[in-house]
Chain A
Amino acid sequence: MKLSHLIRREILHRKLGFALATVSAAVAVAGLVAARAMLQKHDARTEQIITAREAQTRAQMARMEDDYRKMMLKMGFNVLILPKDQNLGDLYAEDYASKYMPEEYATRLARSRVVTINHILPSLQQKIQWPEYARTVLLMGVRGEVYVQNARQQPLLAPVAAGTMVLGHELAKNLKLEAGQQTKLMGREFTVARINPERGNKDDITVWINLAEAQSLLDKPGLINGILALDCTCDTLDRLARIRPEIARILPDTQIVEYASQALARAEARQRAATEAQASLQREKEGRTRLRQEREALAAVLVPVITAGSGVWLGLLALANVRERRDEIGILRALGLRSRQILLIFLGKAVVIGLAGAGLGYALGRGLGMWWRETPDAAAPTLGFWDVHLLALVLVAAPLLAALASWLPALIAAQQDPADVLREA
């Protein structure tokens, strides 16, 4: 016979005491396991929230960048190169330049590899009376982009093919013109290629046609009256100071004005929004960290309190067990068992209680942790039942706790004088 057999029989004989002790150990283990599961879930939830927020912010930023790119195309985050003798007052009053320069300027500018300009868009524009409809429109001849870097560069402006036109929103609506329809401009046949969306500016009454056709219609062969130079590097706000001398060097009889600075304001606003999005993401992260700290602090108080309570309770139960077994201890000593063996009988039982409590407590605590959720929404993170490390930890810690709690009672049992009980008649 072995001591383990004795321990097993005794446990089976006093099931209630064993159950009480096991539940007590299980409560401590469950507290620890549940706290840990809660923190794991918290972390998973945080991860979820932050990932979603990051994706949202990323999407927002991408949308913003795209908007920005289009904005630069529409209104130009850019400079406008004009003939030197163009009166700016006239330009603003009339919406177009009245002086001209050779179209070749655009090519020259492009060839000179001006590093600060990435896109060069020559145009010929003039406010005209659309004779066929008796309507004032802004006629804009464009030839697409004169590439600065190389032909594979992403074009900012699709060229308008000869024989087609692109119409501003208000104009098309007013004239009841739709894409695909045929119409005449100054006697020439055009197909409406596209209607631009409403932009709320003079673009809405603009007719875009091929540059060569515009030159011919307006009788300005080989001439343009503006070059939109778009800088997409966007690195400094004071880029005018950088671009101006460069262009003056290449095209001496031109002047440069910054164009549509409201785009800049909007870009700045968007930038602020981006910064704000980042900051709110940061705040969210900090909030989650704070919440975790609070939960950790709560666990750091509750778990030791529960563990200590459980330890005391285990100790009292062990003491009651020792008292109940006085007679048995006496006779076992008389039979020759050494006091160390008596100690082992009680500590062995404590270890069994600890192991059973660890198993039960793990299942309870993990179950609780799996059931708990921060928010009732279905996307809340889930938790698997097995956390091997934690299970291993409690399978070691709970028997240790139980053995520690039973140490004093076991020592009392081991020190008990057998003569005391054996003398009793």
Chain B
Amino acid sequence: MAADLPAEFDVVILGTGLPESIVAAACSRIGQRVLHLDSRNYYGGNWASFTFSGLQSWIDEYKQREATTDEPVTNKEQILENEGIIPLNQRDRTIRNIETFSFSKSEDSNIVEEIGALSIKPELLNTNPTDGDQPLQESPAPEQPELQEPQSESVEHQETTSESDQIPGANIAPNSEGGSTTDAEPNAAKVCQTESRKSITYSDIVREGRRFNIDLVSKFLYSRGLLIDLLIKSNVSRYTEFKNVTRILTYHNGRIEQVPCSRADVFSSKQLSMIEKRTLMKFLTFCADYEQHPEEYQDYKDSAFLDFLQSKRLTPSLQHFVLCSIAMVSKNTNTVDGLKATQHFLRCLGRYGNTPFLFHMYGLGEIPQCFCRMSAVFGGIYCLHHSLQCLVIDEDSKQCKAVIDSSGKRISCNYVLVEDSYLSEVTCAQVQYRQISRAILITDCSVLKSESDQEISVLTVPSEDGRQNAVYMTELCSSTNTCMKNTYLVHLSCPSVKATAREDLEPVIQKLFTLDADGGE
């Protein structure tokens, strides 16, 4: 089929993550002939979202890949004398140390952990209805990996912990310092509550697996910012549907509390005293246009935001709310940056709802696809499960003038954009990577109960000793179309410090969630 690909494009783009997809849409929009490829058979690369069984196939595939080595394929026939090549990776090493757990009442729950041994059938990622009629035997049938976890009831939760290299090339990587854009908050969450109410069993989850849209990377958007502006300006927003995050939570004094952030919240808050309300109102009103009142913070310009908060007589609770949950900065952040962050938060309030954040329905993984759709509508040609062997470089000009695709076909082009997990370690030797630890949990009750069971919550858990970074958690309810009824999908993340994501996140998970006793911990 790839034989029908034209032999010439203006722009060839490899990787269908968010940055690449935005560029693809932009190039098509201005009339460039775009070829957009991904080595996977799904959109989004490491920005993808999966159904429950899709995620399991993905995990299996990753485990398998970790075990194999990369053999560079290069087709020298197509290369002329004055040309050199840059070979590309045929597999992605971005994500590491994936582990899955389940917490179950029944003894056979550890079978679930064994699924990693099975082979993958990539088609399953897209489609497969996870039907409930799986055979109740244990012998893993390699042809049907997703029928394999046979135990019937019991497993309450499934957690995937993964660790990923963040890619600086894709500069929208969660890096909140950048301010502006995607300022998605890397979020995180995990849950394990079991009070044996209408308990959700593992097989329920398998049966309803299609209701899940589990993001590999979970972020949400500020309701004002470059990404939301871009969605609107480019008209890509016609494909998007968001929900406003409904609650901002924080972990304070050993428990989870809701952070009052709008005027109305502050007034109606039960946890704040009258004096605190007044102090907070006054402070936030000042932050909304702090530049107008330089005298207020002049003396603290070079000190920490926290010192400034103290100078404004904010009580310890208020300091915590502002620092951790409104500005979402660390104790060492300086005053001006803290003020900027607070102001941005306040400016985003009320645009679409009573928190500043938007979460995309069906998961973040939809957003790259929305840009791909836009590119396709303007003529972009899409080919998944199709990669490049190498880039062809003209020795004289040092420019890339063609690529060789995975079928060995030479395609000439003026520009190439490659997501950097496709580049070899040699090529990226100069690049500094940051790692993020993530956990994903499926839970059966919210970390903080409220009247509604359809809250979308964001929670910051500051590190206890203040030396590590905070852990961010997002808890999604079923109306976001990311999980089945009566469950929550929780994403947790923090910059990696320890050797594995599990070590980084397990302490927080144990603080926030009740793991079912018989399941293990």
- Are A and B associated in one complex? no
A residues in contact (CB < 8 Å) with B:
none
B residues in contact (CB < 8 Å) with A:
none
